[in-house]
Structure 1
């Protein structure tokens, strides 16, 4: 077995007590016996612990990457030594190789899918429709994927049920806020070796990921600027103490930019010529469409300054783009993704939702479904137990009061 990959997996596993507790039950009960799972996720150590947990439950797992630059090759190789697991991911693969690997996952004829960005589901509904009848259901990890899936469902095009793992409190409050906030900043700092304190730090989008980034950057002494399209979120950012302005204005002020929208064309040719010399641009959304790299390649001179940084020169001013505009916390050379403890919670949700969709998917229509509240609270309870934290419970009188309408105040 690959030594470095296995070491990474073992290191991660010791900080993932929630997934560990689920694995113990899965090993005893084998709830996924005979299930084929097709996965497109970031193939790194924490994902590998999830894969091993599913395999321990009896599943046959076929996995590839969901981003050409987020795979750790030593972990991918180590996964292929795990019984019941087949990994096709490769770092820095070309676009045709990326989709060929997705097709290899689908060639296994999975009955359950687990996506990060819904590339598997998109492929099933476009190029591989002959396999749709064999799919019981799926799970989706990201905001971007859920947006696309809800659009499909609204058009009546989503052929099977999918659990919106991203949309539950245990995912948003911890993975999106703390995970993205800490890991994106860590990758920016380790890749550039520049200071955050005192910089004008522009966060595009004030969803859960944007809130986490803004909070972490502010904690390091940055002057945070938020750009938004939603008036309520913009007002929230203002009330949280940040400057709010359109991107056309922020482009002139920012020293460091991070996009977190999951949408396209956030930083474009309208903004680049306005930016300061030495500005740093990065993406913590999902796909590499938030920063208009094709525009820069066409209109600017370019060179690789150091690992993970491409510098584009416009009118003598340098614009530094991290990780080719891909996920900065995973696609930079030393990017490790979200902290282990955060992904313990998110992947515990994935494991339990996979069990749920395998058991209940056949009785559900095509569409997007919320994570059952019992799963969300179970993950929280296991985590609290692992931390040695106890909480209160409602008394009988309190339950009666909360569930009655005829008791006066």
Structure 2
């Protein structure tokens, strides 16, 4: 969420030089990536529409103030399309043929099959023109054009430099602590896939607080006993969803 909140506009702005404020933006998916994307674009003044398959995520999007509907209902009204689902064929050739002239198409979710670029390449009567590196105008047989960023691949990497270093520091710290845990306590982990233990997750966060000037409140022994957690954590059950 926090990485894409930074790297999505970081890619759109230099790629297109388009003012995001006032634009109608469609975000496909409201998982962690979609939430960060929608928040970033809303912060730039866009009118954000979200699509979802999951009723819980759809409810979250609606409660966060976003219109939630299908792409088919709004495809001709949208200025910028952003896919963040991790699925395939989220934007089809049929969708792209229905887009307004010079609609911007961007993917931050998955490989280049999230947007059907292969289908677009096979479509008779199309012409692909490089505007600048990683920005292509596709002239469609409808007489309209769309702008596709990073060939339909991850545009926050193709049109920008990806997530900022602070976000990556959290990710890499996770990996290092996981490796240390496996080395020191390997006998506790038979072959399998594991979620990082909660106390290590909290340690990763603690290690990054000073850089942000964060000061934690400390539980008293009485308070810790009252809610049934150790004073120094972990503070949540393993299945807690932050």
**Which TM class, normalised by the smaller chain length?**
0.7 to 0.9
Match in the other structure for 1:307: 133
Residue in structure 2 matching 1:223, options 26, 42, 47: 47
Report deviation, 1:184: 1.2
Residue in structure 2 matching 1:382, options 200, 204, 207: 207
Please give the alpha-carbon distance, in whole angstroms, between the structure 2 residues aligned to 1:235 and 1:387: 32
Match in the other structure for 2:148: 321
Indicate whether 1:235 and 2:65 are aligned: no
3-state SS of the aligned residue for 1:213? helix
Match in the other structure for 2:161: 336
Give the root-mean-square deviation of aligned CA atoms: 1.6
Please give the alpha-carbon distance, in whole angstroms, between the structure 1 residues aligned to 2:28 and 2:54: 12
Q: Is the 8 A contact 1:309 1:323 kept in 2?
A: yes
Q: Is the 8 A contact 2:31 2:57 kept in 1?
A: yes
Residue in structure 2 matching 1:264, options 40, 65, 88: 88
Report deviation, 1:367: 3.0
Please give the alpha-carbon distance, in whole angstroms, between the structure 2 residues aligned to 1:358 and 1:265: 41
Report deviation, 1:308: 0.9
3-state SS of the aligned residue for 1:184? helix
Please give the alpha-carbon distance, in whole angstroms, between the structure 2 residues aligned to 1:325 and 1:384: 36
TM-score by length of 1: 0.53
Please give the alpha-carbon distance, in whole angstroms, between the structure 2 residues aligned to 1:301 and 1:388: 52
Q: Is the 8 A contact 2:182 2:189 kept in 1?
A: no
Report deviation, 1:361: 4.6
Match in the other structure for 1:398: 223
3-state SS of the aligned residue for 2:146? strand
TM-score by length of 2: 0.88
> How big is each residue's C-alpha offset from its partner over 1:16-52, in whole Å with a ceiling of 9 and x where there is no partner?
xxxxxxxxxxxxxxxxxxxxxxxxxxxxxxxxxxxxx
Report deviation, 1:365: 3.4
